[in-house]
Amino acid sequence: MSFDATTILAILAMAVVTYITRVAGLFVADRLVLTGRAKAAFDAIPPLRCWWPSSHRPH
């Protein structure tokens, strides 16, 4: 098992940022109403469903 300190820090940074995005929805659940341009901008954020075969994608 080998670890590089900078790599570990990068992984931790990615993990923290990802977790923040995941729980942030709890805080905005009652407050966020997206419409118009703001909705379009949010929709443009890449929805990376890269594991999902189209035949099994839920509707």
Do 32 and 39 contact (CB within 8 A), yes or no? no
Q: From the CB of 5, what's the least distance to other proteins, in Å?
A: 9
Contacts of 19 (CB under 8 A, 6+ apart): none
CA 35 to chain centre: 20
Residues that bind other proteins (CB under 8 A): 1-4, 6-19, 21-26, 28-29, 32, 34-54, 56-59
Q: From the CB of 52, what's the least distance to other proteins, in Å?
A: 6
Q: From the CB of 33, what's the least distance to other proteins, in Å?
A: 10
